[in-house]
Amino acid sequence: QSALTQPASVSGSPGQSITISCTGTSSDVGAYNYVSWYQQHPGKAPKLMIYEVSNRPSGVSNRFSGSKSGNTASLTISGLQAEDEADYYCSSYTSIITYVFGTGTKVTVL
Amino acid sequence: EVQLVESGGGLVQPGGSLRLSCAASGFTFSTYSLNWVRQAPGRGLEWVSYISGSSSPKYYADSVKGRFTISRDYATNSLYLQMNSLRAEDTAVYYCARGLYGGYGLDVWGQGTTVTVSS
């Protein structure tokens, strides 16, 4: 099972919106509405930001939103803030294994 | 407070064994599935293993199948990962993570424990 494909890096200025893509196949992202997104600051554990494509856990800012079209899922961060600078990973359920993660995207706030 | 705390990491020689533990607290242990996820130095996340709330089913990544065994102890609210025949490529920070109740996602993570496989 190959990792889902994410851009290596995305950057934006404070207040701007950025979108991170997560491309899989018809066997994972395209087959199920089971995509989640995680934020990871350096040296810290990942944190769930979005589950089941577009749902936010309690306590996660509404500046974070998720969507999916075909085999590609997306995470949008609006009103970019310095604290959003981190690595972001998508994940999808597959019929082969429970979770497959994306390659990860480093978000830089300029 | 809902919490997961890993332990048991360390330095081990190739071919050796190690058992990781994850102590859970603050939630009804048997209700939730649990997972192990690892992250090699400077690399991305890799899912390793899953165990349901009832201990069946269990799933493994191909990279560890036949070498690693996941289990849980309801008396002590603990999750385990028995790792045998360790290889250099198993070097990573190992996180335990709780499956979202009634949904798909990993909503609680431990702080991680580091495993280094080297001679």
**pLDDT at residue B17 in the model:** 98
- Given a cut of 90, whether residue A110 has pLDDT beyond it is yes
**pLDDT at residue A98 in the model:** 82
Q: Which of B45, B50, B61 sits opposite A89 (nearest CB)?
A: B45
> Is A91 near chain B, with CB under 8 Å?
yes
Please write the tens of the pLDDT for every residue from B37-87. 999 999 999 999 999 999 999 999 999 999 999 999 999 999 999 999 999
Please write the tens of the pLDDT for every residue from B11-26. 999 999 999 999 999 9
Average pLDDT of the segment spanning A48-61: 97
Q: Which long-range contacts (CB under 8 A, 24 or more apart) does B10-16 make?
A: B10/B114, B10/B115, B10/B116, B11/B116, B11/B118, B12/B86, B12/B115, B12/B116, B12/B117, B13/B86, B13/B117, B13/B118, B13/B119, B14/B86, B14/B87, B14/B88, B14/B117, B14/B118, B14/B119, B15/B85, B15/B86, B16/B86, B16/B117
**pLDDT at residue B102 in the model:** 85
List residues of B whose CB lies inside 8 A of any A CB.
35, 37, 44-47, 50, 59, 61-62, 95, 97, 100, 103-107, 109-112
Q: Which of B46, B59, B95 sits opposite A98 (nearest CB)?
A: B59
**Which of the four pLDDT bands, split at 50, 70 and 90, describes residue A2?**
confident
